[in-house]
Amino acid sequence: MEKTSGQKYGTGLKEHLHKNVFVNGAISSVFIAESISKHSAKKIIGAHSIFLGQVRNDVINGNEVQAIDYSTFEEMAQEKFQEIREAAFKKYSLTCLHIHHSIGRVNSGEINLFVFISSVHRIDAMEASAEIVERIKKEVPVWGKEIFEDERYQWKINS
Amino acid sequence: MEKTSGQKYGTGLKEHLHKNVFVNGAISSVFIAESISKHSAKKIIGAHSIFLGQVRNDVINGNEVQAIDYSTFEEMAQEKFQEIREAAFKKYSLTCLHIHHSIGRVNSGEINLFVFISSVHRIDAMEASAEIVERIKKEVPVWGKEIFEDERYQWKINS
Amino acid sequence: MEVNILAFGQIADITAKREWQIHDVRNTIEIRKKLEEEFPLLRSMSYMIAVNKKIISEDVQLEEHSTVALLPPFSGG
Amino acid sequence: MEVNILAFGQIADITAKREWQIHDVRNTIEIRKKLEEEFPLLRSMSYMIAVNKKIISEDVQLEEHSTVALLPPFSGG
């Protein structure tokens, strides 16, 4: 297990995280399709609930959001994602749970969050979905910087 | 508008329906990916909620389900899907709503239902999703025939 | 008076046909009676009736060329 | 005693650095005080502190090489 003190920002965990949760830039529809088709081998699954977050071109004080640049505290985010996963598997009867979040620049219209939950019966996947997305927004240390046309920016505030 | 009496099974509506809701055989992950990527032009969207139904290889009296063969009363299903759509747009603040259901044979592990809901704020798409899927299962005239290994079958019962 | 009958799912297995016409029925009670005489297995089945695509919950008078659909419990989705 | 400081999001804009060390602080109250002296803008910011990746809700004693992260409100997802 990792050390609980003296942890430096930017350890080997980073690699691991980039593979498993964080994706550089936008999440492509091809990536989503591949994730879906991989589950056809798991024939006990009856339902998939997928949540996708898409970057909106909100207009703020007359300026249109062109993109959001996401950054994170990766080691802490990793622990939090793990905690959210474990709680979900404990509370709901799930077959699979995959979470992917963008890091770096994601243009408006592109996908920055992909939560993919599978279960035997639909109720589990669907109820887990709302709770997991809520927890990701509230508890995971990720920050979005809204980039405007002239490369001005402001830090996003989750409503 | 359609006639309200003397309606024959198998009219021009069939064509229309096949295009818009019913898909022959399984719904492919490529089709799903294309549906997702089409929405990147709609930059006011902040959230997509996707529900996928996958055919399970349930074992019933020792026989494993190989596939489900879906049939429908298309004209009635079309009206019901339209009613469900209209109710959803009335109740929730949605940007888009697409429903696709398989007709014909779908093997276990394959997708037979694709409900794709988009909204500005996530709560609308997510709440609508549960309600729409529930209504499709309860109210739309579609029947699934569970096919076993020796081509024996039984009619599916929705729990 | 001619009425169109549509059978679906397990009902169509019992009737061995999916679409046909019957005559001399005035309402859905008479339809039910006539069909259950012809196909006694229907008596052990749970099914709904839709007249012109609307599910009925009580007896409905039929018109010339009404379409009566025999709907076993839905199992789509 | 040396403590690692990590700054994120809007806080890193204010501190103009993301990672550095500070010395001679024993607890999170002292850290907060020291940082807000160096970066007065922090006083108008809402931010949480995590010690070794755990968000704290009251004062925590620090150890040699503890990592103290300054976390503005999250806006991921």
Report ipTM (2 d.p.): 0.91
Contact B56, A45 (CB under 8 A): yes
pLDDT at A20: 76
pLDDT at B14: 42
pLDDT at B6: 35
State whether residue B100 sits within 8 Å of chain C by CB: no
pLDDT tens digits along C23-64:
999 999 999 999 999 999 999 999 999 999 999 999 999 999
Contact A89, B14 (CB under 8 A): no
State whether residue D4 sits within 8 Å of chain A by CB: yes
Residues paired with A100 in a beta bridge: A114
Question: Given phi > 0 = left and psi -120 to 50 = alpha, else beta, which region is B74?
Answer: alpha
3-state secondary structure of C11: helix
Question: Measured between CB atoms, which of B5, B73, B155 is closest to C6?
Answer: B73
pLDDT tens digits along B3-30:
333 333 444 444 434 457 999 999 999 9
pLDDT at B151: 84
Looking at chain A, how many residues does it have?
159
Instruction: With cut-offs at 50, 70 and 90, classify the pLDDT of residue B40.
Output: very high
pLDDT at D55: 97
What is the pLDDT of chain D when averaged over all its residues? 96
Q: Which of C18, C20, C67 to mutate to test the interface with B (most CBs of B within 10 A)?
A: C67
Question: Taking CB atoms and an 8 Å cut-off, how many pairs form between chains B and C?
Answer: 87
State whether residue D53 sits within 8 Å of chain A by CB: yes
B150: exposed, middle or buried (Cβ count in 10 Å: 0-12, 13-18, 19+): exposed
Q: CA A113 to CA A144: how far, in whole Å?
A: 12
Most confident of A1-10, A79-88, B5-14: A79-88
Contact B95, B42 (CB under 8 A): yes
What is the pLDDT of chain A when averaged over all its residues? 90
pLDDT tens digits along B52-78:
999 999 999 999 999 999 999 999 999
pLDDT at B17: 40
Residues paired with C21 in a beta bridge: C4
Region A73-89: mean pLDDT is 96
Contacts of D64 (CB under 8 A, 6+ apart): A6, D1, D2, D3
The pairing of strands A22-24 and B142-147 is unpaired
Q: CA A13 to CA B29: how far, in whole Å?
A: 32
State whether residue C11 sits within 8 Å of chain B by CB: no
Is the pLDDT at D26 greater than 90? The verdict is yes
Instruction: With cut-offs at 50, 70 and 90, classify the pLDDT of residue B158.
Output: confident
Let me know if chains D and A touch, i.e. at least 3 Cβ pairs under 8 angstroms: yes
Chain D residues close to A4, C-beta within 8 Å: 52
pLDDT tens digits along D47-67:
999 999 999 999 999 999 999
Q: Do A51 and B48 touch (CB under 8 A)?
A: yes
pLDDT at A7: 36
pLDDT at B30: 97
Handedness of CA A116, A120, A121, A124 (dihedral sign): negative
Chain D residues close to A138, C-beta within 8 Å: 74
State whether residue C73 sits within 8 Å of chain B by CB: yes
Tokens of A143: 């920050």
pLDDT at A87: 98
Looking at chain B, how many residues does it have?
159
Q: Which residue has the higher pLDDT, A77 or A7?
A: A77
Region A66-71: mean pLDDT is 98
Q: What is the DSSP letter of D20?
A: E
